[in-house]
Amino acid sequence: LDESTADKVFAEFLNLVRGEGSAALIATHNERLAERMDRVVRLHDGVLE
């Protein structure tokens, strides 16, 4: 997906998850995407931080 479409799709996904009171596990290397999360856990040298 291009960046603009990806932003729209992800915004809709977040609205759906939050609206249902659900949780979602997202694995990404995209820092900009990670900044939109309520909570971020990073794996660094095999250690969760």
**What pLDDT was estimated at residue 2?**
93
In tens, the pLDDT along 2-49 reads: 999 999 999 999 999 999 999 999 999 999 999 999 999 999 999 999
Give the number of residues written for the chain: 49
**What pLDDT was estimated at residue 36?**
92
**What pLDDT was estimated at residue 11?**
95
Residue-range domain boundaries for the chain: 3-48
The Cα angle at residue 27 between residues 26 and 31, in degrees rounded to 5: 100
CA distance 17 to 38: 12
Distances (CA, A) of 23 to 7, 19, 30: 19, 10, 19
CA distance 24 to 12: 13
pTM of the model: 0.70
**What pLDDT was estimated at residue 9?**
95
Determine the straight-line distance between the first and last CA of the chain, rounded to whole angstroms: 30
